[in-house]
Amino acid sequence: LRKLVRFGVSINSELLGKFDELIESKGYAKRSEAIRDLIRDYLVEHEWEKDAETMGAVTVVYDHHVRELTESLTALQHEFHSSIISSMHVHVDEHNCLEVVVIRGKGSKVKEIADRLISTKGVKHGKLTMTTTGKGLV
């Protein structure tokens, strides 16, 4: 059972005014939602610091004409198949592809797989996004 509680924050009115203005421009409909997002983001950061079970998304951009590159990336994903949940391929233009690989595991393991994907010869740009399984982040 999920229980909703309410807590109060004391704050200077000027600071609150600026915050309200900013979150409106970001598209938030309610202040509580923005506060919860700040809280959850702070918790996810900590999840990664303490090497807990988590999820990451690696984006790699590459030219599919590069010899054997597609094969290498596929082989790598098979090597780590137990940690890799899914991947998506986007055709950017005649040459360039963007691939997003979603990985689940301990933070250090996710980083290791990301390092391997990003360091593959021919990958032009790679980045790991540290996200979360969402578990416990109600």
- Strands, E, within 25-64: which ranges? 53-63
CB nearer to its own copies: pick between 37 and 74: 37
> Closest approach of Cβ 30 to its own copies, in Å?
7
Tell me which residue of 70, 52, 58 sits closest to 137, measured CA to CA.
52
User: How many Å apart are CA 58 and CA 110, to the nearest integer?
Assistant: 9
Is there binding between residue 65 and its own copies (CB under 8 A)? no
User: How many Å apart are CA 43 and CA 41, to the nearest integer?
Assistant: 5
82-101 footprint of its own copies as x/- string (CB under 8 A): ---xxxx-x-xx-xxxx-x-
Is there binding between residue 35 and its own copies (CB under 8 A)? yes
> Closest approach of Cβ 56 to its own copies, in Å?
9
Position 132: which residue type? T
CB nearer to its own copies: pick between 63 and 70: 63
Is there binding between residue 30 and its own copies (CB under 8 A)? yes
Is there binding between residue 51 and its own copies (CB under 8 A)? no
Is there binding between residue 77 and its own copies (CB under 8 A)? no
> How far is residue 118 from each of residues 17, 58, 96, 111, 127, measured CA to CA in Å?
43, 8, 15, 10, 7
> Closest approach of Cβ 23 to its own copies, in Å?
7
User: How many Å apart are CA 54 and CA 89, to the nearest integer?
Assistant: 22
**Out of 52, 70, 104, 109, which residue is the one contacting its own copies (CB under 8 A)?**
104
